[in-house]
Amino acid sequence: MCNDSKGLKVKTKPIIQLLIALCGTFISLLVLVLFNKNLLMSFSLPLRMILMIVTQWILFLTPAILVIVNKEKFSSLGFTKKNIMLQVGIGILLAFSMSLVLTVLPILLGFKDMVGNTSYTEPWQFVYEFIYLILGVALAEELVFRGYIFNKLLEIKDSKWFAIIISSLLFGFFHIFNGNIIQIFMTALIGLIYCIFREKIKGCTLLSLIIAHGIYDAMITLWVFIL
Q: Which amino acid is at 27?
A: I
Kindly give the parts of the chain with pLDDT less than 50: 1-9
For residues 54 and 131, the answer to whether their CB atoms sit within 8 Å is no
In angstroms, how far apart are the furthest CA atoms of the chain?
67
Contact 111, 224 (CB under 8 A): no
Among 153, 184, 133, smallest CA distance to 63 is for: 153
Q: Where are the domains of the chain?
A: 2-226
pTM of the model: 0.92
Q: 10 Å Cβ neighbour count for 138?
A: 25
**pLDDT (tens digit, 9 = 90+) per residue, 111-159?**
998 888 899 999 999 999 999 999 999 999 999 999 999 999 999 999 9
pLDDT at position 2 = 42
* H helices present in 39-100, as ranges: 45-54, 61-69, 84-99
